[in-house]
């Protein structure tokens, strides 16, 4: 067999998504197929992964540290963690082999921070987490995301949207270098407050996050330690959904997050976020 990858596959027939009987082989295949669209979002970002070696019905483990047995060719970067009070060896996924290796260790969910390893304090993405609190639903999140887009349009910022893969939507604004997390956090908070004034559904303050039936525009994630599910990351939910970049035109009534899953997303020809990193925008705080 030709050597197309450095990764030694293991336990390919292991079922990782029991409801749909999706095997590890299928998960790896998904990540191989999505790699051309996905790798750009991973490059040079210290990753946090959630691994489910025994399938998503069993406890997974959330890992910042590169696990024991990480091959020497996998790039890592060391940062001191205040909470863990030690250095953590973060995985960097800058190539296809690393992505395949992650899939092979059953790292179903791959999370990325909003800044790169070489400029950790300086974000290049501004993140709005549109998170509905039950009984608010995805439908409510869609409504709020569209209002959010309108608001951002008004201040001259182009935004990008993706499903979280769970119940919410993520809205991203790529930003020019030089801004700090404090600035992005403040900016997102202000936009949230603005929305909350006119929209009954929206709450903008952390203490209100658990208000039933409300949609919180979470600004707190804009910090160097925080992450979001990477664009095109699978989610550890029974339907094997994918956090999927969408065109704003797709975000409308009737859209369901489960439409975007391990089998459908690779068939999407569109790559609505393709030019996201060419569109670095300055914030006027």
Query: Which residues of the chain form contacts with another protein (CB under 8 A)?
Result: 1-2, 4-5, 9, 12-13, 23, 25, 28-29, 32-33, 35-36, 39, 96, 100
Q: Which is nearer to another protein, 88 or 100 (CB)?
A: 100
Q: Which is nearer to another protein, 9 or 62 (CB)?
A: 9
Least distance CB 207 / another protein (angstroms): 45
Terminal alpha carbon distance of the chain: 57
The half-sphere exposure of 185 on its side-chain side, counting CA atoms within 13 A, is: 14
Least distance CB 100 / another protein (angstroms): 8
Least distance CB 5 / another protein (angstroms): 6
Q: Which is nearer to another protein, 12 or 247 (CB)?
A: 12
Least distance CB 246 / another protein (angstroms): 21
Q: Which is nearer to another protein, 2 or 85 (CB)?
A: 2
Q: Which is nearer to another protein, 26 or 140 (CB)?
A: 26
Least distance CB 23 / another protein (angstroms): 7
The values of phi and psi at residue 163, to 5°, are: -75, 150
Q: Which is nearer to another protein, 9 or 206 (CB)?
A: 9
Least distance CB 25 / another protein (angstroms): 4
User: b/e for 156-167, b at 16 or more Cβ within 10 A?
Assistant: ebebbbbbbbeb
Close Cβ partners of 96 (under 8 Å, ≥ 6 residues apart): 5, 32, 35, 39
Q: Which is nearer to another protein, 2 or 200 (CB)?
A: 2
Least distance CB 240 / another protein (angstroms): 17
């Amino acid at each position: 067999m030709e050597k197309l990858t450095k990764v030694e596959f293991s336990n390919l027939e292991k079922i990782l998504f029991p409801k749909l009987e999706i095997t590890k082989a299928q998960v790896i295949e998904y990540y191989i197929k999505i790699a051309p669209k996905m790798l750009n979002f991973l490059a040079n970002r210290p990753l946090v992964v959630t691994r489910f070696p025994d399938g998503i019905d069993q406890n997974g483990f959330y890992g910042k540290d590169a696990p024991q047995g990480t091959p020497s060719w996998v790039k890592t970067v060391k940062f001191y963690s205040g909470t863990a009070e030690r250095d953590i060896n973060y995985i960097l996924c800058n190539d296809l082999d690393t992505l395949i290796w992650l899939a092979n260790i059953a790292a179903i969910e791959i999370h990325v921070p909003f800044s790169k390893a070489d400029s950790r304090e300086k974000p290049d993405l501004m993140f709005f987490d549109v998170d509905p609190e039950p009984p608010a639903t995805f439908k409510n999140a869609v409504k709020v995301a569209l209002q959010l887009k309108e608001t951002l349009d008004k201040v001259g910022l182009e935004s990008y949207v993706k499903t979280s893969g769970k119940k919410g939507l993520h809205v991203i604004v790529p930003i020019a270098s030089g801004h700090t997390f404090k600035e992005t956090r403040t900016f997102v908070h202000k936009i949230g407050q603005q929305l909350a004034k006119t929209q009954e559904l929206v709450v903008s303050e952390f203490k209100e996050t658990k208000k039933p039936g409300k949609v919180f525009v979470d600004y707190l994630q804009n910090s160097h330690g925080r992450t979001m599910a990477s664009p095109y990351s699978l989610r550890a939910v029974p339907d094997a959904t994918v956090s999927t970049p969408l065109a704003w035109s797709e975000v409308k009534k009737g859209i369901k997050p489960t439409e975007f899953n391990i089998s459908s997303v690779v068939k999407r020809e569109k790559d609505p976020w393709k030019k996201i990193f060419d569109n670095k925008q300055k914030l006027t705080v």
